[in-house]
Amino acid sequence: MLSRAVLLATGLAALVSVAVEGRSRGADAAPNTPTAASGASDERLVGDLAAPCPPETLSDGPVCVHLPAFPFALADVEPLEASHLDRRGRLQTYEQIPRRPERPADYQAYRYPVAPGLPDGRFVISGYDLDLPDALQRRGRRLRAIGHGGVDLPQARGAPIRLVALEAQQGDADVVYVGALFGTTVVTRHTVREGGKLRDYLLLFGHLEGPAPGLTVGGHLADGSLVGFVGDTGSPELVHLHLEARRVRDELDITKVPPARLLDSDVSVVCDPRNVLPRAR
């Protein structure tokens, strides 16, 4: 049972500001067993709230008690218009959702579906750049596209790809597509609490050697579930995982959208993956 100090703190949540640093958002905090004697006066309890204690705790007499986790949601962010010139010199205009300013810019600050594949322990060889000016977006003679709406994660062929639950995700993810998109691709749907509402996000796992055995549309995947295996389908000799995040348009049921339209602008908006990927533990 929670102590009276914790119960009082919960009741005064709108009045008490608790500094939280370095925590994994959305994780439940396990309360310690209080040792203070019951029956202390309300004045004493209120005084205890001001006693010095570490972050995520409040004083309960001689001990510091961990607070229960409060509901967490991502801040709302709206799509912005962007554009670049394609390989034929034509201007392509589209919407994209840039990285939220409160989210770390360092790709190493996040957790990914594969182990680090670069010699120095890094994960990402090519990042999201649709929020950058045209001249700063990704280029290359071997690339069929200009600009990059995801992150490329190099790994050995056949390396396992495991689902990551997104920040503020509610429940398990659903498989909404298995087939050809970015080569062999698996698409999962994640419901996220964002800006005071629930929104659906898609994660695209591209260029797979193949999906996990038995993986089918409509299946549910928990954090850590096997999604598939790294390959180079649709990207010959460039073995890597293309990971892309897209926000589904509000009020749209993605399960009723034909697979060929998943990337259409009226269905989903490309998003910097750092907005929703979970923080590294």
Q: Where are the domains of the chain?
A: 4-66, 80-275
The Cβ of residue 191 has, within 10 Å, a number of other Cβ atoms equal to 18
pLDDT, residue 277, reads 93
pLDDT of residue 281: 79
Burial of 24 (0-12, 13-18, 19+ CB in 10 A): exposed
Read off the tokens for 133: 């000016």
Q: What is the mean pLDDT of residues 100-108?
A: 87
Quote the mean pLDDT of the chain: 75
pLDDT digits (tens, 9 = 90+) for 198-251: 999 999 999 999 999 999 999 999 999 999 999 999 888 889 899 999 999 998
Interval 156-168 mean pLDDT: 96
- pLDDT of 127 reads 61
Question: What is the model's pLDDT at position 258?
Answer: 93
pLDDT for residue 2 is more than 50: no
Burial of 157 from C-beta contacts in 10 A (0-12 / 13-18 / 19+):
exposed
Q: What is the distance between the alpha carbons of residues 66 and 32, in angstroms, rounded to a whole number?
A: 6
| CATH, domain 80-275, list 3.90.1580.10, 1.20.1300.10, 2.70.70.10, 3.40.50.1980 | 2.70.70.10
Residue 247: per-residue pLDDT: 95
pLDDT 10s digits, 246-259: 999 998 999 999 99
| The pLDDT of residue 125 | 74
Nearest to 216 by CA among 183, 179, 252: 179
Average pLDDT over residues 113-119: 88
Region 160-188 average pLDDT: 96
Per-residue pLDDT band for 105 (boundaries 50, 70, 90) equals confident
* High-pLDDT (> 90) share of the chain, %: 40
pLDDT at 268 over 60: yes
Mean pLDDT is lowest, of 70-79, 153-162, 262-271, for: 70-79
Residue 57 has pLDDT above 60, yes or no: no
Q: Looking at the predicted structure, is the pLDDT value of residue 122 above 60?
A: yes
How far apart CA 274 and CA 124 sit, in angstroms, is 12
- In this prediction, residues 101-123 reach a mean pLDDT of 88
